[in-house]
Amino acid sequence: MLNERFKKMIIEEEEKKEEKNERLLVDLCKCHISLNYLLSPEMISICVSCLLKVALKKEETDEAQKEVEMGLLALCNIGNLKVKIDLYLNEIREIIKYHQEHQNLTRLAYQSVWLFLVKRLYCNRFLEDIVVNKLHFGREARRELEELTKCVNWKKKEEEMNKEEAKEEIALMRWVETLKIYFLRCKLWNELFFGLICGIVQVYRAAKGNNGVIGNLCISSLGIAAERSVVKVEDLLKSGAIDAVLEEIHQPTLDDNIAHDSLIFFMNVSSRLKEKTDNKIEEEERKATKRKVFEKLEEEGYEDTITTFHKIFDFLHRNYSLGTSLNISDYFINI
């Protein structure tokens, strides 16, 4: 098998004492990762070290930037969630901090290095603290969303874009995907959640009517955010997230993916607002938010719209990861 051949060649090249061909080793690692979502512990150790060595290059020539970009794209495609932190943390931290000071990475490369980290937040509070509080993920992600939203030429068709324009659109799409994973895995609350949700809403409004894939990703990401207890429902209201999803479901024609993700969003909002607490202050805040959301949905004719979805609940439930509820009351908010 080609895969086994690559693995054998990587080990042989890595074990050379002299005249090691670093460029060949990098190319072999990228090929091996492209063929394997999950790597063996031995291959993780070799590939991560090899690709990080490439990513640490600080030359700003076009060739060096392209090499770094390709290395980081390969690195973030490693599917193993539990990569030993000592294999990458110091190097990743150096790459991010150097870019924050010198802006040496391409947008796609910078997104990739963050994606590698965010994927590994799974059950790792130590890494969460570094990502959120030391490396300032929320601030960086919000800025990248804002800048890329301005850079993307939303009226241009894909085939009309030049190479750099296409890269900016891909980077923006991947940032929204990264935030989806971040909301899913980050359990550490921070005040920048509100800014990130505002950023996604901004991207959604820019993409609406221009790029259905990115728009759909935004709605899906907001649905994940709505489920997480670290994200306040009040923030979903103030950021315009609820308005954005309401606008989507009121469209005369609606893609099944969008219908599913919109229902997931409102199901999660409804579920969150039903969660009572013994803390008197928090309970008062919940009730106040619940009334605001109820009034917003009533004003926009939400109940009638959702009722029209009732006949397709079973279809969406069966065909989209069984995520939706079959009980229509789970999508409503009652005062």
- What CA dihedral angle connects 82, 97, 198 and 241, to 10 degrees? -10
Residue 201 reports pLDDT greater than 80? yes
- The Cα 168–Cα 152 span in angstroms is 6
Q: What backbone phi and psi angles, to 5 degrees, belong to 34? A: -65, -25
DSSP character string of 211-276 = -HHHHHHHHHHHHHHHH-TTS-HHHHHHTTHHHHHHHHHTSSS--HHHHHHHHHHHHHHHHHHT--
- The Cα 147–Cα 168 span in angstroms is 10
Residue 131 reports pLDDT greater than 80? yes
Residue 18 reports pLDDT greater than 80? no
Q: What is the pLDDT of residue 67?
A: 93
Q: Report the candidate in 326, 305, 304 with the shortest Cα–Cα distance to residue 315.
A: 326
Residue 255 reports pLDDT greater than 80? yes
Q: What is the pLDDT of residue 258?
A: 87
- The Cα 262–Cα 248 span in angstroms is 8
Residue 320 reports pLDDT greater than 80? no
Cβ contact 231:194 at 8 Å: no
Q: What is the pLDDT of residue 310?
A: 82
Chain segment 283-314, per-residue pLDDT in tens: 999 999 999 999 999 999 999 998 888 888 88
Q: Report the candidate in 38, 42, 31 with the shortest Cα–Cα distance to residue 6.
A: 31
Hey, which CATH number is domain 174-184+193-335, 1.10.10, 1.10.287, 1.25.10, 1.20.140?
Answer: 1.25.10
- The Cα 71–Cα 22 span in angstroms is 13
Residue 173 reports pLDDT greater than 90? yes
The structure tokens 């980081």 sit at: 72
Which tokens sit at 3?
Answer: 């895969």
Which tokens sit at 178?
Answer: 């990264």
- The Cα 268–Cα 223 span in angstroms is 7
Residue 51 reports pLDDT greater than 90? yes
List the domain boundaries for the chain: 1-135, 174-184+193-335
